[in-house]
């Protein structure tokens, strides 16, 4: 396989063991990349992209997932720049760059003069984890979503995504694809909801998981029900379920400015362990 002057090449299924060993040095921060590697075997046709590896003396020392999301793995600033140089040899296909701030910042600084202006950059996102029982009483009404929930669940997912990201997930004719993704999470037992007199008042999903960790996404309470403790009690229920049946550590990342969400997670028992950053196109 061709290795560039920066020591970077595309990984193949033969590199899976080395990639997993690298990513498992921080299996919670790297849960997305580990999930993708194990479910695709690093095969491009399943990844919808590639995973690049940086080598030093024949040893894999850093990696970068490059599909819809560009995600550095174990990358110090020098490795991040090397991955950016590799990215500059091809047309941009990624919609986001996301990962630990210490890798995303130098990567983006190298790319910024050459790629188009991003829609938004979020430099300060708090990566949080919990590896123990929740500190608040779990809401007993939170349950796994079922297919018949989709008529209420899907609009809530659209509302949450639009509020969080700033654009609708249905933009550009993507509604069918996004609905299929929501339905897939439901069918896999990765979607949670709580109803009050038939109204959906809390939801959350497991975005990805391994035997070590599970990452939560899409936490949402309708605006008129916020401030009632639904998020903290709901998240406590999700944490209890996930830790019992999926993985021992539950993680998420949240924007620094989202003070109310951070407070809710802290009440549950989440603690900050890293700083993430996201560049969105």
Span 110-126, pLDDT tens digits: 999 999 999 999 999 99
Q: What is the number of structural domains in the chain?
A: 2
Q: How far apart are CA 61 and CA 209, in angstroms?
A: 23
We report the CATH number of the domain holding residue 180 as 3.40.630.30
pLDDT at position 165 over 90: no
Residues 162 and 254 in one domain: yes
Nearest by Cα to 34 from 215, 165, 158, 162: 215
| % of the chain beyond a pLDDT of 70 | 98
Domain membership flag for residue 20: yes
Are 166 and 52 in the same domain? no
Q: Cα–Cα distance between 194 and 192 in angstroms, integer?
A: 7
Final residue of a domain: which of 116, 151, 184? 116
Q: Are residues 184 and 233 in the same domain?
A: yes
State the chain's mean pLDDT as an integer.
95
Output b/e per residue, 229-260; b: 16+ Cβ within 10 A: ebbbbbbbbbbbbbbeebbebbbbbbbeeeee
DSSP string, 149-166: GHHHHHHHHHHHHHHHHS
Query: What value does the mean pLDDT take over residues 117-140?
Result: 97
Which runs of E-coded beta strand occur in the chain? 8-10, 50-56, 59-66, 69-73, 96-100, 120-130, 143-144, 191-196, 199-209, 213-220, 249-255, 271-280
Q: What's the pLDDT tens digit per position in 21-74?
A: 999 999 999 999 999 999 999 999 999 999 999 999 999 999 999 999 999 999
**Do 198 and 235 have their domain in common?**
yes
Q: Are 84 and 113 in contact (CB under 8 A)?
A: no
Q: Which residues contact 85 (CB under 8 A, 6 or more apart)?
A: 4, 6, 8, 110
226 burial (CB, 10 Å; 0-12 / 13-18 / 19+) is: middle
Tell me the C-alpha distance between 164 and 261, whole Å: 12
Strand arrangement, sheet containing 69-73:
8-10, 50-56, 59-66, 69-73, 96-100, 271-280, 120-130, 249-255, 213-220, 199-209, 191-196, 143-144
40, 111: one domain: yes
Beta bridge partners of 97: 70, 279
State the residue range of the domain holding 25: 8-116
Do 37 and 151 fall within a single domain? no
């Amino acid at each position: 396989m061709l290795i560039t002057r920066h020591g970077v090449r595309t990984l193949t299924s033969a590199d899976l063991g080395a990639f997993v060993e690298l990513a498992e040095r921080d299996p919670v921060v790297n849960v997305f990349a580990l999930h993708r590697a194990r479910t695709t075997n690093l095969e491009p046709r399943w990844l919808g992209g590639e995973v690049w590896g940086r080598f030093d003396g024949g040893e894999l020392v850093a990696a970068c997932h490059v599909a819809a999301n560009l995600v550095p793995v174990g990358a110090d600033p020098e490795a991040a720049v090397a991955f950016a140089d590799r990215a500059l040899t091809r047309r941009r296909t990624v919609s986001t760059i996301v990962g630990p701030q210490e890798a995303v910042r130098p990567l983006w600084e190298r790319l910024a003069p050459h790629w188009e202006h991003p829609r938004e950059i979020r430099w300060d996102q708090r990566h949080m984890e919990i590896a123990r029982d929740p500190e608040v009483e779990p809401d007993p009404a939170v349950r796994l979503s079922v297919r018949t929930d989709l008529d209420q669940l899907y609009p809530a997912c659209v509302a949450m995504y639009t509020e969080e990201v700033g654009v609708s997930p249905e933009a550009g004719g993507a509604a069918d694809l996004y609905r299929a993704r929501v339905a897939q999470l439901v069918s896999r037992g990765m979607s949670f909801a709580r109803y009050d007199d038939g109204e959906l008042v809390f939801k959350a999903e497991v975005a990805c998981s391994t035997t070590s960790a599970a990452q939560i996404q899409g936490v949402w309470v309708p605006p008129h029900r916020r401030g009632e403790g639904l998020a903290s009690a709901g998240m406590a229920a999700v944490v209890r379920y996930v830790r019992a049946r999926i993985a021992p550590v539950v993680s998420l990342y949240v924007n620094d400015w989202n003070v109310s969400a951070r407070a809710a997670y802290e009440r549950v028992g989440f603690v900050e362990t890293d700083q993430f950053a996201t560049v969105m196109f």
